[in-house]
Amino acid sequence: MLCLSILRTGCKNGLALLAIACLSLPSSALPSSALADKKKNSPDEGLLPLEELRTFTRAYDHVRNDYVEEVSDAQLLEYAIKGMIAELDPHSAYLDKEAFAELQATTSGEFGGVGLEVGMDEGTIKVITPLDGSPSQKAGIKPGDIIVRLDDQSMKGKNLSDAARIMRGPKGSTIKISVQRKGIDESLDILIIRDVIHVQSVNIKSLADDYLYIRIAQFQVNTGKDFVERLRESLKQHPKTKGLILDLRNNPGGVLLASVEVADAFLNDGLVVYTQGRTDNSNVNYNATPGDISAGLPLVVLINSGSASASEIVAGALQDQKRAVIMGTRSFGKGSVQTVIPITEDRAIKLTTALYYTPNGRSIQAKGIEPDLRLEANNAAPDNKIATTEADLSGHIPNKNSTEINTGDRDRELAVNDDILKDSQVLDAVNLLKGTHILGKRAVNPEKNIPTKPPATNAREPHPPVSNKTHQ
């Protein structure tokens, strides 16, 4: 009946629309008598709205036949999928061949490119920093350079995704990057040979007075494993370490499993995070395994409005478990889980399938993690731009368990200062660690030995949220 109803609308593209209708039917399509019985229990479940389908077929028919330029049926159907998913929420998306490949490269932390971290600055593509040892660093690209052309293609009006697709490529291939540099009138043309780029998501440095500074830039597939190995090695090298600073500022998130492994490294037991969705496989508890590899050292976690998703999972778990003091400003507030579902060999959909909750049952969706100690950055940006959070995004999923945030009052913040010694928030964190009488209420009982602890293994892997910076 459904297929016949569609064909009777008079649409000339009946075959394509018949395919849409049949694909839209539940996999366990029932005969009319069974549907009638099912309808008694659940009036709307499993049934498609015929009038809306007729409206769709009419619109499709007009676009197909009357649009100023001819568009193939395959392209129109792909547009329909994109539009359907894009209207759900800011983080669900249809991933075409290029976007799917870019996602896989981003989460793996290894790809062919030039090794630049770039961001948008007033409509221009600006170099944040060349990665250490990368082709860009060796060629002389500097932080603050404005990319104006890539292989003679103007970057005016282009976004980060456009630039990423051009800059990435196979090892050994060349690209010409034209940049504008402060103090130089004419643009500089720099020829770069692409190489395999390995993004290092975990960096650990020793600060004065035996404190370790740990920076996680993004949660990639191997971040949890790398974090545990590097922290254990750093503690062996610095046996007199008195405290730890975990910097998650401007970390856009990433792989869920990696965030669970990082939080688990500081916990002996208990819940790390749990997710809830409509399907059974979306309802998962992630628990810590025995052993705190830091042996209960005092811990401060730095967050700001750029800390999202996986970063908030770590901060929320350590806060609820009273294992760390959270300092900085309110986090972004992305409390949803995206599952990447392949629909062909080279295409996929990134679909929001669940919300995650901290151990105490808090949903941070459109709310964020509120720090224990609010600490504003005093190195404010010259233009004093207001930060964007989840609650500012059009179509965001509201937090049903709390009052929406006042979007008119946002934290004013900068990206993390590369020079740690000049970073006021890091210095304040060190001072807090020195005040052991404050941290004594949060730290667990220290152990003399550092036990060996495997990471948790029962997590799924969502894609990171949209960030205002990317690696190429």
Catalytic annotation, pick one of 226, 320, 372, 423: 320
Catalytic annotation, pick one of 134, 226, 307, 334: 334
With a CB cutoff of 8 Å and minimum separation 6, the contacts of 33 are none
With a CB cutoff of 8 Å and minimum separation 6, the contacts of 185 are none
Catalytic annotation, pick one of 309, 311, 331, 467: 309
One DSSP character per residue, 207-242 reads ETTTEEEEEE--B-TTHHHHHHHHHHHHHHH-TT--
Q: What is the chain's Cα-based Rg?
A: 25
Closest CA to 205 of 373, 413, 418: 418
**What is the greatest pairwise CA distance in the chain?**
79
d(CA 7, CA 4): 5
Q: Is 262 helix (H, G, I), strand (E, B) or coil?
A: helix
Angle subtended at Cα 255 by Cα 252 and Cα 259, rounded to the nearest 5 degrees: 85
One DSSP character per residue, 148-196 reads EEETTEE-TT--HHHHHHHH---TT-EEEEEEE-TT-SS-EEEEEE-EE
- For CA atoms 358, 363, 368, 370, the dihedral sign is negative
**What is the pairing mode between strands 124-130 and 116-121?**
antiparallel
Q: Is 363 tagged catalytic?
A: no
d(CA 212, CA 279): 42
Q: Is 400 tagged catalytic?
A: no
391 DSSP β-pair partners:
none
User: Burial letters for 189-219: b for 16+ Cβ neighbours within 10 Å, e otherwise?
Assistant: ebebebbebebbbbebeebeeebbbbbbbbb
d(CA 109, CA 128): 18
Q: Is 320 tagged catalytic?
A: yes
- Catalytically active residues are 309, 320, 334
